[in-house]
Amino acid sequence: MRKNALYICRFSVLCLAALLCLQCSKPKSVLSRVIQIKGSDTMVNLVQAWVETFKAVDSTIIIEVSGGGSGVGIAAIERGAVDIATASRNIKSKEAEAVKKNTGKDPVEFIVAYDALAVFVHKDNPMDEITIEQLARIFGIENNVTTWSELGVKLPGVKKDKIIRISRQSSSGTYEFFREKVLNKKDFRLGSCDMNGSKEVVELIGSTKTAIGYSGMGYATESIKMLKVKKTDHDTAYAPTIENTMSKKYPLARSLQMYTLGEPRGVTKTFIDWIKSDAGQSLVGDNGFVPCKVLSGAAPLVQ
């Protein structure tokens, strides 16, 4: 019995060793067909749409997508932990230096789409347009506006018209962009509801009559209203549309980008090249954003 037990034990050890060898050898071939993408919450839905359609082009490439914010994606590529970082803001010089220091490679930027940072209010809010100055007074630390009546807005069916500010967490590229373009790089006022993702921003505004917030225009729903935006009272207000973003009339237009460690190679290059093709760019407009290139047969973008 002991002899049989010894044989069984040895056989089990050999099987386990063989299994471990298979597991060790598998990643080398499989990982070369895997692309890890992390970063912008604004871009998550768009990137996932690209991934789903790209499967028909090459189903052998495994693409893993996660959000967390532009800062999270850039931090991941600083460590060399991902193949692509997505960002709704440009990488900062100190971040690029960290990438080079940690990985020995420079980050390479690819603009893959354009977006209009929309200002959202509840659908029942009678306000139709807003200035950059008013936004700064609502969200910033100076000359604060705290109620809708201070802006001359009367909300129907609302007794207490205190403005509920819906913002994003500080790791968000959308947060950084708003802080730079609206607050002139000054700090946000404390007390806002800071959400983890663009979808959460829109959902909360859609259920809160006194709320105002900001996010990518691709996240608009029937429960909210997108305000027209103008720089000053003397300027024309423009809605966050594809046309106004293309013509650069909308004052809060921005680019959406991907970053790689050095020039992309292998499956990463294949995927990015496809995103920049007509096939990839045709999905951009379908997801509420603006293509970064002129599609075949389309009218040229206004520069």
Q: What is the pLDDT of residue 266?
A: 95
Residue 38 lies in a domain: yes
Residue 219 lies in a domain: yes
Other CB atoms within a 10 A radius of the CB of residue 118 amount to 26
Range of the domain at 108: 31-114+255-291
| 129 and 238 inside one domain | yes
State mean pLDDT over 5-11. Answer: 45
| 149 and 86 inside one domain | no
pLDDT at 293 over 80: no
* Number of structural domains in the chain: 2
pLDDT at 25 over 80: no
| DSSP secondary structure string for all residues of 168-208 | E-TT-HHHHHHHHHTSTTPPBPTT-EEESSHHHHHHHHHT-
Q: In angstroms, what CA-CA distances link 112 with 109, 125, 219? A: 9, 34, 18
| 106 and 120 inside one domain | no
Residue 198 lies in a domain: yes
Residue 207 lies in a domain: yes
Q: What is the pLDDT of residue 16?
A: 44
pLDDT at 29 over 50: no
Residue 12 lies in a domain: no
State mean pLDDT over 248-276. Answer: 96
The domain that holds 47 is classified in CATH as 3.40.190.10
pLDDT band at 8 (very low <50, low <70, confident <90, very high): very low
Residue 1 lies in a domain: no
Residue 158 lies in a domain: yes
d(CA 38, CA 273): 18
| 128 and 248 inside one domain | yes
| 102 and 121 inside one domain | no
- Tell me which of 14-18, 167-171, 235-239, 279-283 is least confident: 14-18
Residue 49 lies in a domain: yes
pTM for the whole structure: 0.79
State mean pLDDT over 210-225. Answer: 95
| 114-133 pLDDT tens trace | 999 999 999 999 999 999 99
State mean pLDDT over 285-292. Answer: 90
| 247 and 135 inside one domain | yes
Higher pLDDT pick, 143 / 154? 154
| 146 and 217 inside one domain | yes
State mean pLDDT over 219-238. Answer: 95
| 41 and 81 inside one domain | yes
